[in-house]
Amino acid sequence: MKSARNGLIVKLVIDTNVLVSSLFWKGAPATLMMAVDGGKASHVLSAPLLEEFIVVVDRPKFTKPLNKMGASVSELVDRVSVGAEKVIPATISQPTKLRDPKDVMVLATALAAEADAIVTGDKDLLVLKEFEGIPILNVGEALARLEVR
Left if phi > 0, otherwise alpha if psi is -120 to 50, otherwise beta: which for 146?
Answer: alpha
pLDDT band of 12, cuts 50, 70, 90 = very high
Total-model pTM: 0.91
Give me the residues paired with residue 130 across strands: 135
What's the pLDDT tens digit per position in 53-108? 999 999 999 999 899 989 999 999 999 998 899 999 999 988 888 889 999 999 99
Residues 6+ apart with CB under 8 A from 128: 95, 97, 98, 136
**Which CB contacts under 8 angstroms, 24+ apart, belong to 60-65?**
62/24, 65/24
What's the pLDDT tens digit per position in 101-137? 999 999 999 999 999 999 999 999 999 999 999 999 9
- Note whether 13 and 109 are within 8 A (CB): yes
Left if phi > 0, otherwise alpha if psi is -120 to 50, otherwise beta: which for 72?
Answer: beta
Question: What CA–CA distance (Å, rounded) separates 83 from 68?
Answer: 25
**In this structure, what are the phi and psi dihedrals at residue 22, rounded to the nearest 5 degrees?**
-65, -30
Q: What is the pLDDT of residue 9?
A: 58
Query: CATH: 3.40.47.10, 3.40.50.1010, 3.40.50.720, 3.30.420.40. Which one for 4-146?
Result: 3.40.50.1010
Q: What is the pLDDT of residue 34?
A: 93
